[in-house]
Structure 1
């Protein structure tokens, strides 16, 4: 009988150890989604792919030009954590004005476990387009006190350069075409952090298209964190429609990547 109890206890230990090992391994991926489709107002996501959207009114909503809550530490409303593997995602207008609930666009993306990914929706309602990235985010050591900043261009037909105010054109990014993404570049966020003003210019003539302010000064954002940008990575997103002077005119927003 003692032998039986010994084997039962040993088997239980093996099962518990296996369970612990499985729990230590993350089973999901991270996916940021940005709605830059000119002419859209709000899109709802359907992660059932081509299946009907059952809970249409309560589905996750993506507002045009909204990168999520950058001001809240580690809280981005356009970020999805609960999925991994091959995912089919459809995006519908809200309210749905298309016949037979036809999606504005649909994509199929591969989300390996523990990967960090970004999906940019761009183009127009009539001709939507997408850009999918698997991100490798730079690590910032405690002695560096830096923030990683990159730029993505989602304006079709436009090539841009990027510089900081009062610096030479192209000093940050020399040339960035449609759906091109610059590398993350470190910017100091040290004892006396500063305000960075990025100027986005038309590469062909040097004309200023728009500016993006990034204020890296300390502030109380809770969670025991005094600085939003230090040791983190961000994307300046240029989006809109070339030659549009209305709501879809080219402009920028900042998305948090981690």
Structure 2
């Protein structure tokens, strides 16, 4: 059942190794993407997109409103993996046509996985979660109210997004009561941002995601490099004074790319 997925030491070790290997790359890309924001003028809307589709579908984004899509210039959004250079869009047109195509569908006859018009407002920040599957894709659009980290307040802001098909979840820090962070988060729901302690009295937090009804452990996530106490510390931190969403994806009882897992979606670029 679901517990066996997460108590297999080899799988946990493999997943953590991949995260640690990818960490320097993610940091360098995120820092680089911070520099490019200065090129965006006119107070655009900022759209962050997370591809949570099942069955490991990578997507190409088309904002032109025209068909066929120009694959050579369309941003590639990997499945359940977030990079600001790939997943952040600066929107100047309102409303904004937004369609996504499967990476494998490259012919003019191919139809988009999803084709929508986004009703955004200039200067605002949005999160767009794509979920479902290639033949039955859906979306959830959130207008974000991002908290403002204050220097000297050693916290990290975390919220939770539940895009695990049919799942109702709770969240807690390891060793604390079930539901102490989030008591009840339904499928296709996003929580408020929660300030979590990140001062030198703690190291890396281990966050436990559980089935809300049974308390069964679904997934865990560790905030590697939380602060200078962490053996994985590097500068800039991905957590200290930062804002992140942790996205639960997959299906109950799923395997492979559809196994229930948590992924980080940073709100700093």
Shift of 1:251: 0.8
Q: Are positions 1:81 and 2:96 aligned together?
A: no
Which stretch of the first structure deviates more once superposed, 117-126 or 239-248? 239-248
State the Cα RMSD in Å. 2.2
1:5 is aligned to none
1:151 is aligned to 160
Q: Are positions 1:248 and 2:263 aligned together?
A: no
Q: Are positions 1:228 and 2:243 aligned together?
A: no
Instruction: Give the distance between the partners of 2:64 and 2:188, measured in 1 at CA.
Output: 27
Deviations 1:83-109 (A, max 9, x none): 342111111111207882100112221
Shift of 1:243: 2.7
Q: Work out which of the residue numbers 122, 129, 139 in structure 2 matches 1:120.
A: 129
Pair 1:155–1:234, CA change in 2 (3 A): same
Aligned runs of 1:1-258 on 2, under 5 Å?
26-49=42-65, 51-68=66-83, 75-96=84-105, 100-191=109-200, 194-215=203-224, 216-218=226-228, 219-221=233-235, 225=236, 227-258=237-268
Contact 2:168 2:212 in 1 (8 A): yes
Contact 2:248 2:261 in 1 (8 A): yes
Shift of 1:191: 3.8
The higher radius of gyration belongs to 1
TM-score of the superposed pair, with normalisation by structure 2: 0.77
Unaligned runs of 5+ in 1: 1-24, 69-74
Higher strand share: 1
Higher helix share: 2
Unaligned runs of 5+ in 2: 1-40
Any idea what SS the aligned residue of 1:101 has?
coil
Contact 1:149 1:184 in 2 (8 A): yes
TM-score of the superposed pair, with normalisation by structure 1: 0.80
Equivalent residues, number: 225
Shift of 1:79: 0.8
Instruction: Give the distance between the partners of 1:108 and 1:248, measured in 2 at CA.
Output: 28
Instruction: Give the distance between the partners of 1:248 and 1:99, measured in 2 at CA.
Output: 29
